[in-house]
């Protein structure tokens, strides 16, 4: 916080929120460890437990933390001073997705960053958690972190006793880590000829189908998207684009191979019969040479797989003792509320409208800004010049927490 006056103002507003808010408590909260970071203290307070909602509310109102956390783990004695003494009983499975884990997101303006992250968290939920992994929607608790992303909690009995290693295996599946192209495109031996007592054998790969499910279906969809991208281009541009994709291959691909591969796929004309046959017949027999097929498989691994994978913070998911943000608490770097929601609510959720605490009013507050700022909060678009300006209370908290302004005294 930039000044004592700014810190006191924000702490007063946070305390007001905690006095007025109806806290949303995590399940079996008396078995959870709690931890806090503060505006006016430079240490982390943890190894705390609360027997009741009232006890936690009293602590939040009086101590006014900048950040409030609770453990994904359940303990026999959550307020014991050491982890060994707590006696671990199990833990929720947590997925944490923020701007650091989404390509290009962290360089975007804050509002666009959150939009980009939401797209990826919806993919994570729909394609992987509800899709491939088969969790029930009732087992999922989706939470806006108040900062730069979202958390997804799963507290199904099926996951509570999973070890760190088993949780890491789930992350590897979501992110496609260790995905073997020989599994995606299984090679099948076939006889190419005989001479006396010798049999010549080669291998052909099988094209995955959408109905295969899992990563095979995901790779197939990515192939279809890739072919559609190339098909939308002229022949010259298509060859150029294919060459650019091939440049990222694990092996050196020459111009002749690129041209041969393009001809196999699209016949050098707009007919594109090779690609059509590949998709309609689920076959790789459109490639005239083995090196063309090998180059295509390399391209799928380097281009398609990264686009089709899910994202999550691996250390968070694999940690069976992690502290995670407390729903209905406030985030000290934004002033936004940590908001739980259903999958249906996620689609329309807008943190700049929905996560601004109701306790923050419209009372005018004088701030000093070093640079002009434009932000939309609640239903207001605020264009604020550099220098001293009066803004509504709810906007003042956001701007101070985001270090865009300080209180003018």
Residues with catalytic annotation?
96, 98, 313
3-state SS assignment for residue 179? coil
CA 211 remoteness from chain centre: 26
Contacts of 64 (CB under 8 A, 6+ apart): 11, 14, 15, 18, 38, 39
Tokens at 318, concatenated? 């694999």
Contacts of 228 (CB under 8 A, 6+ apart): none
CA dist 306 → 70, 94, 248 (Å): 33, 22, 12
As a residue count, the chain comes to 409
| Contact in structure between 120 and 152 (CB atoms under 8 Å) | no
214-231 and 255-266 are packed helices; what angle lies between their axes, rounded to 10 degrees?
A: 100
Under DSSP, the state recorded for 101 is G
Looking only at the bridges linking them, the beta strands covering 406-407 and 364-369 are antiparallel
Cα–Cα nearest to 131, from 224, 217, 225, 226: 217
CA distance linking residue 104 with residue 75, whole number of Å: 39
């Amino acid at each position: 916080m930039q000044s004592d006056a700014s810190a006191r103002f924000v702490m007063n507003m946070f305390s007001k929120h905690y006095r007025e808010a109806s806290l949303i408590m995590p399940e079996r909260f008396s078995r959870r460890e709690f931890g806090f970071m503060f505006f006016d203290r430079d240490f982390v307070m943890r190894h705390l437990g609360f027997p009741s909602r009232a006890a936690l509310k009293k602590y939040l109102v009086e101590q006014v933390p900048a950040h409030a956390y609770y453990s994904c783990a359940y303990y026999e004695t959550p307020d014991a001073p050491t982890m060994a003494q707590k006696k671990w009983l199990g833990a929720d499975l947590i997925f944490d997705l923020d701007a650091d884990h989404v390509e290009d997101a962290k360089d975007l303006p804050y509002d666009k960053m959150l939009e980009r992250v939401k797209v990826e968290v919806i993919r994570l939920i729909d394609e992987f958690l509800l899709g491939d992994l088969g969790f029930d929607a009732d087992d999922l608790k989706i939470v806006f972190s108040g900062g730069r992303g979202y958390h997804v909690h799963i507290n199904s009995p099926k996951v509570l006793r999973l070890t760190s290693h088993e949780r890491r295996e789930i992350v590897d599946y979501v992110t496609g880590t260790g995905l073997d192209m020989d599994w995606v495109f299984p090679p099948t031996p076939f006889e190419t000829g005989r001479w006396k007592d010798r049999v010549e054998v080669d291998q052909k790969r099988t094209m995955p189908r959408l109905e295969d499910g899992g990563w095979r279906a995901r790779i197939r969809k990515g192939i279809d998207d890739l072919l559609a991208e190339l098909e939308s281009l002229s022949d010259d541009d298509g060859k150029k684009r294919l060459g650019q994709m091939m440049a990222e291959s694990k092996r050196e691909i020459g111009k002749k191979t690129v041209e041969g591969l393009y001809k196999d796929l699209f016949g050098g004309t707009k007919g594109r019969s090779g690609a059509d046959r590949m998709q309609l017949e689920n076959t790789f027999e459109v490639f005239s040479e083995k090196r063309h097929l090998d180059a295509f498989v390399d391209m799928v691994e380097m281009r398609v797989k990264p686009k089709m994978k899910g994202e999550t913070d691996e250390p968070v998911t694999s940690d069976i003792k992690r502290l995670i943000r407390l729903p209905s608490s406030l985030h000290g770097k934004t002033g936004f509320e940590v908001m739980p929601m259903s999958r249906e609510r996620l689609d329309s959720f807008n943190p700049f409208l929905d996560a601004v605490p109701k306790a923050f009013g419209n009372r005018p507050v004088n701030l000093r800004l070093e640079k002009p700022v434009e932000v939309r909060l609640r239903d207001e678009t605020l264009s604020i010049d550099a220098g001293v300006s009066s803004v509504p209370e709810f906007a003042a908290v956001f701007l101070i927490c985001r270090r865009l302004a300080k209180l003018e005294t």
